Amino acid sequence: MWKGRFAQDTSSLVQQFSESISYDWRLFPHDIAGSIAHARAQMRAGLLTAEEFSQIETGLREIETDIREGRFEFRASLEDIHMNIEAELIKRVGAVGGKLHTARSRNDQVATDTRLFCRMEIDGIIGAICALQWVMVDQAEKYAGAVMPGYTHLQRGQPVTMGHHLLAYVEMLQRDRGRLLDCRKRLNVSPLGSGALAGSTINLDRARIADELGFDGVTHNSMDAIADRDYIAELLFAIALCGVHLSRLSEDLILWCSSEFGFVSLSDAHTTGSSLMPQKKNPDVCELTRGKTGRLVGNLLNLLVSLKGLPLTYNRDLQEDKPPLFDSVDTLRMVLEVNAEMIAAMEMREEKCLAAAGDPLLLATDLADALVKSGVPFRQAHELVGKAVAESLKSGVPLHQLDLKAIDGAFSEEMGSVFSLERALAARTNVGAPSIENVKREIERWRGCL
């Protein structure tokens, strides 16, 4: 690329191997924004006249428009987005364009571009998470009183409501938003001015450049600023964990859509059929969400492995940070959007949920609690109810129809009243518990938060 040091042209195979323009072209709006801020700082420092700055800014704006409208021809021989834009700028405005790179390196340039890109994508992802949360809150309100079993080990445990279950995922998504906001705060410092690794003898006003680009401040060690990709790793972790949460939701929905559960019906618009079996209605969106989570986790691992052995400061390995970054942000945005659409259209089969929750064994813990309230130590109460359950299973007599006093005198006639789903849920009034009134209050709280 630069002839001064080299006697031979770069091999065409090496050019093909080392180019990044095929994917880093996406950084163009951030590269141009950073270049304009840098040029303005050069003007303030007396390195450019006002007229030269105007020529550079106008040229960069025209290039940006051409790229957006698909008229720009990227050249792999120029390797990356930075050199493609700079070469075109010089072509359009002449030698003055060659002044733009004074006091900067592609190293601090790409570090700035990727921070700006990550900041923009975080804002978009947070918006998509919020949209999904709204959909789930709406569905939680619709099914606030729809009683269903809660599970541990995929075995029926205790009664809850569908509203309470859906709000659990709203909580998870809120933590995802928090992690993204934390990541945004940490990444929002400008490395521009760090040069290749040791700054420059031509000192520009870094703080003012940072302010123009919307950064909260500047980095304080030029070597770390160039080598740092923590912010990308942190973003990929937050994205991967959000994907894991959506994958868990998908697994719930896949189970609930099965004939064995029958709790949920997804719309025809969000399911597919079989090429052979005409009766099938497959929850493909859920399955693909579950599958794409593997990509998100893999992208995080990809970056971490690339970083783990790098000495300070810049190494070409860092070029490999962008494919996993771009793939993860695109994948998560799509997953969030399609799930919001799917969940907004899904319908609960409340009668199926209620029938499953009608198993009296789900209230075995309530029966133990009744014994505790009568003065029986919990461990003893647990054992007594366990005996009653064993007798129910052995005899085939439902737990609520057993003669409990015949099993142990600690049971009283009044304890049979625990076998009421309505009463069992109403009694769960502690903060975080699934009484219908609690769920309704949580829905209102979430509407305020969102």
pLDDT at 236 over 80: yes
Q: In total, how many domains does the chain have?
A: 3
* Pair (205, 171) in one structural domain: yes
Pairs from 427-434 (Cβ < 8 Å, separation ≥ 24): 427/366, 434/150, 434/159, 434/160, 434/161, 434/164
Same domain, 402 and 294: no
- Whether residues 193 and 285 share a domain: the answer is yes
**Mind telling me the catalytic residues?**
153, 274
Work out the average pLDDT over 264-291: 95
Strand, helix or coil at 6?
Answer: coil
Measure the CA angle with vertex 225, ends 221 and 228; round to 5°.
130
Q: Is the residue at 368 inside a domain?
A: yes
**447 occurs within a structural domain:** no
| Same domain assignment for residues 67 and 156 | no
pLDDT at 3 over 70: no
Rounded CA gap, 338 and 267, in Å? 13
Out of 355, 383, 403, a domain closes at: 355
Same domain, 342 and 213: yes
225, 159 in Cβ contact below 8 A? no
Residue corresponding to tokens 């800014």:
57
Q: Are residues 151 and 290 in the same domain?
A: yes
Which of these three, 85, 102, 119, is where a domain ends? Answer: 102
User: In terms of domains, do 131 and 221 share one?
Assistant: yes
186 and 293 together in one domain: yes
- Tens digits of residue pLDDT in 245-273: 999 999 999 999 999 999 999 999 999 99
Give the span between the Cα atoms of 164 and 141, in whole angstroms. 9
User: Is the same domain home to 171 and 317?
Assistant: yes
- Residue 112: cis peptide before it, omega within 30 degrees of 0: no
pLDDT at 9: 83
> Is the same domain home to 78 and 195?
no
**CATH classification at residue 158:** 1.20.200.10
401 and 300 together in one domain: no
| 257 within some domain | yes
> Strands 347-348 and 264-265: what pairing?
antiparallel
Residue 360: which pLDDT band, with cuts at 50, 70 and 90?
very high
Is the residue at 295 inside a domain? yes
pLDDT value at residue 46: 98
Residues 272 and 414 grouped into a single domain: no
**Residue 368, exposed/middle/buried by CB under 10 A (0-12, 13-18, 19+)?**
buried
Look up the CATH number of the domain holding residue 372: 1.10.40.30
* Average pLDDT over all residues of the chain: 96
Domain around 285: 107-355
User: Among 102, 137, 157, which residue terminates a domain?
Assistant: 102
